[in-house]
Every structure is written in C-alpha cells, then in structure tokens.
C-alpha cells in the first residue's frame, strides 16, 4: 500500500523519451493533471530514456548504465511519476532485477522502484483523485498496455478517471489487454507478425464503433495510430492524459496539422 | 525432425497471409482461451494450487537425481525396466533395439512430444517398422506427413475439409462415396481404422505426463483412450519421457493434474487419466508382458545447472501457446521445430542452439500473457530476455541492430548531446511530414514503415520547451 500522501507533494516527472520527442502534449497534460491535484512538479534535466530498449534487446550492460543514471537523477524526489506503463514497469519491476546481484545499487534501485508510479495509478491510488474536470465528446475505446496491465496491475484507474470526463462514452473493447504488436524493437524486427497483431487490435477497436482510441503508453499509441493511418480508418488516437487534462481537442497522434 | 527455425522470419511472414490457417487459429484460440478462463474461474483455489505446484516441482528439481533413482528402483521392483538416454540418438536406438527384440513389425504410438524431439518415428520406419499414430490429431498429421503445430492439438491448423480429403485419400479400402460431412463421421472413421491398428500392434509406445518416484508408475492423460489401448493391447509397452517429468508422490501428481487439464483444454479432468504400474503380473488378465521406460536427457541436465532451470517445471499444457498473440498470428509450423509458442521459443534454442533458433526468443513482444496463464509460474518473458542477453554476450545477434543500439545507448548517456539530437530529430521529422502528420517512408526505419505510417513529432521536444519556459 502506498504511504499517505503529504500536502503538495514534490513529484518528479519522467516524461519518457517517446513523449519528449513525439508527443510533448503528453508531458504538458501530465504536468497539468499533477498540478491540479496539488503537486509541485519538477522535471529533472538529465533525464533521457529509461533504458528499456537496451534491456529487452539483451544489452544488459547498457541498460544498467542508463538505469544508474536515472536512479541518480530521480532519487532526490519523494515521488516519480511516468505517463507510461512500460517505462513505469521498467523502473518498478526491472531496475530491481537488473541490480539483484549488485549490493551497491540494489537498495537504491528498490527504493526508487517503490516511489515510482504510472500517472493514472498515482492520481487514483496515491493522491486519491476520483474525478477530473474535463469534457471530451467522443466514443472512445481504452487499450490496456501489456506493462500497465500485467507488470503494474493497472486496470481500473484510467477507466475510473475517464468515467468522470463529460460527454465521453467508453466503448467496451474486446480483449482490451491483448498486445497491440508494438513490443519495442519487436515491431521493426518482425513487421509481418506485428502487422497481424495490430490489425487484430484495430479490428477489435473498430468493431466497437468507437471514433477514438485511448491508452497510457505512447509506444502502443504510435503503433496503433501509424497502422490506423496506413489503413485510412479515420480513427483518432490520443494519450489518456491528454483527455483527462482537457487537452484532447487538438490533432490526434498522426493527424494532419490543422488547415492541411 | 529437421529444424527450420533458422528461416523463422520468412516462414512467419508467409503464415500471416495464410487465410485458412488464420481461420483455424481463430477458432482454436476462442475455444481454448474461453474454456480455460471458465475452468479457472470455477476453481477459487486455482491460485493456491498453482503455488503448490511450483513448490512441488522446485523441490523435485532440487533433488532431481534422488527422485529419478527412486523412480528407477520402484520400476525395477515392479518388474519394469528403466533405460537412460543422454541424446536423441541414444533414445531412438534403445527403443529400436527393444522393438527388434520383441520382433515388432507394427507399432501403435500414443502422442509424445519427446519422441518428436528425438525423431523416433523416422528411426523406426527406417528399420522397416510400421508406426501408427493413434492420437487423432497425430494420426491426421501423420497422413499429411506434417509435424505437429501445437503441443496438445497437433492438427489444430487443419480444417474439416482438409481432414476429409486426407481420409478419402488414405483410406482406399472404404466406400469412396461414403458421407464424411460431420466431425462425428470423421471421428468414427478414424476410430474404426485405428482399432485394427491397436489389435495388430506388437509394441505400444506412449509418452508420460508424470513419472511418480514413490510408486514407479507413469501417468498419461488423453481424451481418446488411445494411450490405454496402445499400452495394454500390445505385448510390449515402451514409455518415453524427459527426465523432468518425475514427481515425488501420487499426491503430487494429482495436484499437477488439477492444473493440467484446466490450463490445456479447460476441462476439469481429461476423459482418461491412466496410471501405468508395470507389466502384467501373474494371475492378471491383461497388460503388457514387458514394461520399459526410456528416460531422455537431451539437454535437460544442462538446463538444470544453468539459468533456464525454471523451464524444467513445464508440464506441456499449451496454455502459453493458446494465449500468445505471436502464436495466434503465425501458428506452430512457422517456429520450425517441435515446440512452438513461448515455451518453444525458450526450449528450442536450448536444444538446438541460439545460432539455429535465435529468432525465436526475439520474435516476442514480451507481452507477458504466457507468464500470466502458465500454471507452473514459469517466467517465460524473463527467459526469452535471457536468451537475448546470451545472444548479445556471444555476439550472435544481428549486427546492424547491435550497432544501432550501442550508438543510441551512448547518446542516451549524454543528456546534453541527447537534447540537441532529439530537438533536431523532432524538427526534421516534422518538416519531412509536410503537415500530413505522418511519414510514410523513412530511411533506416523500413521495419516500421513497411506496415504503418510513422506519426510525426509535434515539433518541439518537451524537455526543450520546459527549459524555455523556465521550468514552468
């Protein structure tokens, strides 16, 4: 169980390399949500990536070096919040595994893991947020990312918050926890298999009649949006934080710039 | 069986475009996944049994040699004989020799994955013996001259029409105008054909789901009863099994049985669960005259002493295959050898080498469903990742990917340089998208753009903008 949260907690945002590069809106949405919930948000300047691509590709030494850098950058903060289940899972689950046999880093890795939360889980489980002030007129399907669901056990938190968004209808997505076929480097190493998986996911999404797809992981979202665009489905794709922060009215991921 | 694992990528890509296969896999997945869920939900203590099963297997593996010796002693005391085979070739020659001594011409065989592993049928057929696969699925693929595509449903890739055509071609003794429209017609026909095979067989060969150390008995589950007929009608019964199948007690076997059928087919228990306790004793009316057990190592000792010991807990239920999105996309044959799906992607490189089968552990999104449903709590994603770590350490991964990652890894460790590079990257990609919001093609990103557009960055990086706004 998380420890009771102090007033105006100091929170370090790990924005994630994908959001930093592709979708800064996710970072701004996370900042807004955290501030609205009374947090003091800081963004450690030396952050880059959590090292997951190296870890999942078997480059353990590189992953450890990156992890040490992240641990050092984030350990001064009482809370670390990540708008991504997979980066969150990397810090919470895999950092302690990486340093299991390294006494000088094992405790530091574990300590950071215990203070690290995925964004929607932090809002609901730690801050006790029950609803958000946002309006989003759409019918949206919510896709659970593999890491959110199976590494962090997050399922109800994003749905609870989305349930409070005005004019938003949540569609009942079949097999919402099935992998979308992203899997980091997997999707570029085995595009044919990944294509089949993302097509299955898209077919399930379109079958609900939803016009929008939401998820908490930019990896999944870039993959699904990219395939949806290639298939010209017209599906709108957004990070869940953008909708929760009331910032969901701009172009979706992969949508043309206004006026194009 | 000759491995095709080295051409996994091409075979997998072909399989994703096979419409017949896709429909067959879709049907199978719906059935297996749904039935397992219902069976698990109906057993509130499933989680506790799962934890107990792990303890049983871990304990057994910690004392593996002791329990194997106890098993051998009990088999011997019961009038049977245990044979030890370190390699597939040894296992095959032991079985062949036993069959020769029995003067065998015809052999009835139950489904055995370890016999697929050793390529037993080829050896016996090479010595002019007739081997009849008696599990319906195995019989179908034997007619089709194909390897199994699933460890518990070997012909899961075949549809009813394909099976009907096979039966018409291979049963010329039957009326060519007979009706074979329903599944029941096909089953009845196979039953009639196989019945004679059981009666004619000189030797019966079966696998084993468990070996019980305290009693020297072997346990076999089937839904067709073919294992019982293969073992009780012929004069000689040969069991072939991997050394990891041993458990200490009958009670332990029963604990594992509670997980096996539920995880495999969603049944509470299979139609037949048979305990084979030795040859026919004086005064008994049936049973074989001889009872032989061939225990196969084939790499298992190596797994036992290394980082992959947990894989020896596997009870071959197939749940990881049924829940795997990659298996669901490509089916079993694309994996190129005996064991497909997540368990196969861990096992095959251990048995054939990473040089041959290195694609298998890489072809996973590490989505974690396999570990979630594994009744033996095997951390399959971690083991797949361990293979990747070993490939990197032994420098047998793809060179381009390795260099790319090394370069990226160096950049990530230089935050200032990384900032410059990511800011430039975001801007360049934005420009290249020309307002469309997407890139349809991009140098060095062919793996991505082959099947999907690349959503363009918004333009500024978050970190750059955050700094510009003075951390506000």
CATH numbers and ranges of domains, chain B:
43-301 (3.40.50.10420), 409-468 (no CATH)
Please report the pLDDT score of residue B324 as a whole number.
97
Q: Average pLDDT, stretch A132-152?
A: 97
Give the 3-state secondary structure of A8-33: CCEEEECCCHHHHHHCHHHHHHHHHH
Q: Which of A257, A259, A260 to mutate to test the interface with B (most CBs of B within 10 A)?
A: A257
What does the pLDDT look like over B138-197, one tens digit per residue? 999 999 999 999 999 999 999 999 999 999 999 999 999 898 989 999 999 999 999 999
Shortest distance between the Cα of A139 and any Cα of chain B, in A, equals 22
> Alpha-carbon Rg of chain A, whole angstroms?
18
Among chain A residues, the shortest Cα distance to B390 is held by A58
Asked whether the predicted pLDDT for residue A199 surpasses 90, the reply is yes
CA atoms of B364 and B323, how far apart (whole Å): 13
CA atoms of A215 and A165, how far apart (whole Å): 15
Please report the pLDDT score of residue A237 as a whole number.
98
Please report the pLDDT score of residue B204 as a whole number.
98
Please report the pLDDT score of residue A5 as a whole number.
65
Asked whether the predicted pLDDT for residue A18 surpasses 50, the reply is yes
CA atoms of B309 and A10, how far apart (whole Å): 44
Alpha-carbon distances of A182 from A147, A154, B18, rounded to whole Å: 12, 19, 22
Q: Average pLDDT, stretch B59-85?
A: 98
Q: What beta strand segments (E) does A30-84 contain?
A: 40-42, 79-82
Q: Write the CATH number of the domain with boundaries A130-244.
A: 3.40.50.11810
**Which residues, at least 6 apart from A48, have a Cβ–Cβ distance to it below 8 Å?**
A17, A66, A69, B411, B412, B413, B415, B418
Query: Any chain A CB within 8 A of the CB of B396?
Result: no
Question: Which of B331, B332, B346 has the alpha carbon at shortest distance from B378?
Answer: B346
What does the pLDDT look like over B357-405, one tens digit per residue? 999 999 999 999 999 999 999 999 999 999 999 999 999 988 888 888 9
- Which pTM does this prediction carry? 0.96
CA atoms of A84 and A218, how far apart (whole Å): 7
CB neighbour burial string for B448-458, b if at least 16 within 10 angstroms, e if fewer: bbebbbbbbbb
CB B256 within 8 A of CB B52: no
CB B332 within 8 A of CB B10: no
Residue B330, helix vs strand vs coil: helix
Query: Any chain A CB within 8 A of the CB of B425?
Result: yes
CA atoms of B119 and B128, how far apart (whole Å): 15
State the pairing for strand pair B81-85/A236-239.
Answer: unpaired
Verify whether the Cβ–Cβ distance A191 to B368 is below 8 Å.
no
Please report the pLDDT score of residue B241 as a whole number.
98
Shortest distance between the Cα of B22 and any Cα of chain A, in A, equals 10
Asked whether the predicted pLDDT for residue A93 surpasses 50, the reply is yes
What does the pLDDT look like over A211-228, one tens digit per residue? 999 999 999 999 999 999
Shortest distance between the Cα of A175 and any Cα of chain B, in A, equals 11
Q: How high is the mean pLDDT of chain A? A: 96
Q: Average pLDDT, stretch B236-255?
A: 98
Please report the pLDDT score of residue A258 as a whole number.
82
| Side-chain-side CA neighbours of residue A232 (13 Å) | 0
Q: Which of B463, B468, B471, B472 to mutate to test the interface with A (most CBs of A within 10 A)?
A: B463
Asked whether the predicted pLDDT for residue A1 surpasses 50, the reply is no
Please report the pLDDT score of residue B30 as a whole number.
84
CB neighbour burial string for B231-261, b if at least 16 within 10 angstroms, e if fewer: bbbbbbbbbbbbbbbbbbeeebbebbbbbbb
**Which residues, at least 6 apart from B102, have a Cβ–Cβ distance to it below 8 Å?**
B202, B203, B235, B236, B290
Q: Kindly state the percentage of chain B with pLDDT values over 90.
A: 94
Residues in chain B with CB shorter than 8 Å from the CB of A58 are 385, 387-393, 397
Residues in chain B with CB shorter than 8 Å from the CB of A191 are 447-448, 450-451
> What are the extents of the domains in chain A?
10-125, 130-244
CA atoms of B348 and B303, how far apart (whole Å): 12
Band of residue A260 on the pLDDT scale cut at 50, 70, 90: low
φ, ψ (nearest 5 deg) of residue B155: -110, 25
CA atoms of A12 and A156, how far apart (whole Å): 24
CA atoms of B107 and B115, how far apart (whole Å): 14
Total CB pairs under 8 A between chain A and B: 211
Query: Any chain A CB within 8 A of the CB of B26?
Result: no
CB A82 within 8 A of CB A47: no
What does the pLDDT look like over B211-235, one tens digit per residue? 999 999 999 999 999 999 999 999 9
Torsion of CA B414, B420, B423, B427, to 10 degrees: -140
Verify whether the Cβ–Cβ distance B401 to A189 is below 8 Å.
yes
Please report the pLDDT score of residue B29 as a whole number.
85
Please report the pLDDT score of residue A104 as a whole number.
94
Question: Which of B316, B287, B4, B303 has the alpha carbon at shortest distance from B153?
Answer: B316
Among chain A residues, the shortest Cα distance to B370 is held by A150
Verify whether the Cβ–Cβ distance A188 to B425 is below 8 Å.
no
Residues β-bridged to residue B220: B274
Question: Which of A152, A228, A170, A52 has the alpha carbon at shortest distance from B405?
Answer: A52
Query: Any chain A CB within 8 A of the CB of B393?
Result: yes
Q: How high is the mean pLDDT of chain B? A: 96
CB B207 within 8 A of CB B113: yes
DSSP string, B7-58: GHHHHHHHHTT-HHHHHHHHHHHHHHHHHHHHHHHT-TTHHHHHHHHHHHHH
CA atoms of B6 and B356, how far apart (whole Å): 5
Band of residue B80 on the pLDDT scale cut at 50, 70, 90: very high
Query: Any chain A CB within 8 A of the CB of B12?
Result: yes
Q: Kindly state the percentage of chain A with pLDDT values over 90.
A: 95
Verify whether the Cβ–Cβ distance B367 to A179 is below 8 Å.
yes
Q: Average pLDDT, stretch B289-306?
A: 97
Rounded to 10°, the helix B160-170/B183-200 angle is 40
CB A78 within 8 A of CB A117: no
DSSP string, B128-176: T-EEEE-SHHHHHHHHTT---SSSS-TTTT--HHHHHHHHHHH-TTS-T
CA atoms of B300 and A187, how far apart (whole Å): 32
Q: Kindly state the percentage of chain A with pLDDT values over 70.
A: 97
Asked whether the predicted pLDDT for residue B46 surpasses 90, the reply is yes
Shortest distance between the Cα of B42 and any Cα of chain A, in A, equals 20
Query: Any chain A CB within 8 A of the CB of B326?
Result: yes
Verify whether the Cβ–Cβ distance A227 to B452 is below 8 Å.
yes
State the pairing for strand pair B203-206/B106-109.
Answer: parallel
**Which residues, at least 6 apart from B96, have a Cβ–Cβ distance to it below 8 Å?**
B123, B124, B127
CA atoms of B260 and B264, how far apart (whole Å): 6
């Amino acid at each position: 169980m998380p420890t009771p949260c102090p007033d105006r907690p100091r929170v370090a945002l790990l924005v994630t390399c994908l959001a930093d590069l592709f979708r800064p809106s996710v970072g701004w949405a996370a900042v807004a949500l955290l501030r609205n919930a009374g947090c003091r948000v800081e963004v450690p300047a030396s952050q880059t990536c959590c090292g997951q691509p190296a870890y999942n590709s078997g480059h353990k030494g590189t992953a450890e070096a990156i992890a040490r850098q992240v641990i050092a950058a984030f350990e001064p903060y009482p809370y670390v919040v990540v708008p991504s289940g997979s980066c969150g899972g990397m810090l919470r689950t895999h950092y302690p595994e990486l340093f299991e046999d390294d006494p000088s880093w094992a405790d530091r890795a574990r300590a950071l893991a215990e203070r690290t939360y995925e964004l929607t889980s932090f809002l609901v489980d730690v801050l006790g947020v029950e609803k958000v002030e946002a309006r989003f007129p759409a019918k949206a399907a919510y896709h659970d990312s593999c890491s959110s669901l199976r590494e962090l056990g997050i399922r109800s938190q994003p749905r609870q918050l989305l349930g409070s968004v005005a004019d938003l209808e949540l569609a009942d997505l079949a097999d919402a926890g099935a992998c979308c076929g992203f899997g980091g480097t997997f999707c570029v190493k085995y595009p044919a298999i990944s294509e089949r998986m993302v097509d299955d996911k898209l077919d399930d999404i379109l079958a609900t009649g939803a016009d929008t797809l939401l998820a908490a992981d930019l990896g999944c979202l870039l993959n699904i949006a990219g395939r949806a665009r290639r298939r010209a489905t017209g599906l709108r794709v957004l990070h869940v934080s953008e909708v929760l922060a009331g910032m969901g009215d701009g172009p979706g991921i992969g949508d043309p710039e206004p006026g194009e | 069986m000759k491995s095709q694992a080295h051409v996994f990528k091409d075979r997998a890509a072909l399989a994703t475009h096979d419409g017949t296969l896709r429909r067959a896999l879709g049907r199978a997945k719906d059935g297996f996944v749904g039935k397992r869920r219902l069976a698990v939900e109906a057993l509130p203590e499933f989680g506790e049994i799962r934890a107990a099963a792990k303890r049983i297997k871990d304990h057994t593996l910690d004392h593996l040699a002791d329990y194997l010796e106890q098993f051998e002693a009990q088999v011997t005391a019961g009038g049977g004989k245990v044979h030890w085979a370190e390699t597939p070739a040894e296992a095959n020659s032991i079985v062949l020799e036993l069959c020769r001594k029995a003067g065998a011409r015809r052999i009835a065989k139950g489904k055995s994955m370890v016999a697929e592993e050793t390529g037993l049928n080829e050896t016996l057929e090479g010595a002019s013996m007739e081997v009849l696969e008696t599990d319906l699925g195995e019989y179908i693929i034997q007619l089709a001259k194909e390897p199994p595509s699933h460890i518990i449903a070997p012909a899961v890739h075949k549809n009813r029409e394909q099976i009907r055509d096979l039966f018409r071609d291979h049963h010329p003794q039957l009326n060519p105008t007979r009706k074979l429209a329903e599944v029941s017609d096909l089953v009845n026909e196979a039953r009639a054909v196989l019945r004679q095979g059981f009666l004619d067989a000189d030797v019966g060969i079966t696998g084993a789901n468990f070996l019980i150390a305290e009693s020297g008995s072997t346990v076999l589950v089937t839904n067709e009863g073919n294992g019982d007929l293969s073992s009780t009608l012929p004069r000689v019964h040969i069991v072939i099994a991997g050394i990891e199948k041993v458990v200490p007690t009958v009670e332990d076997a029963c604990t594992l049985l509670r997980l096996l059928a539920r995880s495999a087919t969603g049944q509470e228990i299979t139609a037949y669960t048979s305990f084979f306790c030795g040859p026919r004793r004086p005064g008994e009316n049936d049973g074989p005259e001889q009872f032989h057990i061939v225990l196969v190592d084939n790499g298992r000792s190596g797994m036992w002493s290394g980082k992959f010991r947990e894989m020896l807990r596997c009870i071959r239920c197939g749940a990881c295959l049924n829940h795997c999105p990659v298996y669901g996309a490509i089916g079993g044959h694309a994996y190129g050898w005996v064991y497909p799906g997540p368990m196969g992607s861990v096992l095959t490189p251990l048995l054939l080498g990473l040089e041959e089968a290195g694609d298998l552990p890489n072809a996973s999104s590490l989505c974690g469903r396999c570990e979630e449903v594994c009744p033996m709590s095997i951390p399959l994603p971690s083991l797949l990742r361990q293979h990747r770590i070993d490939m990197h350490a032994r420098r047998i991964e793809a060179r381009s990917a390795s260099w790319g990652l090394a370069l990226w890894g160096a950049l990530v460790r230089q935050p200032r340089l990384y900032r410059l590079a990511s800011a430039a990257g975001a801007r360049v990609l934005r420009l290249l998208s020309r307002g469309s919001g997407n890139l349809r093609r991009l140098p060095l990103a062919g793996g991505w753009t082959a099947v999907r557009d690349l959503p363009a960055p918004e333009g500024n990086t978050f970190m750059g903008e955050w700094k510009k706004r003075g951390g506000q």
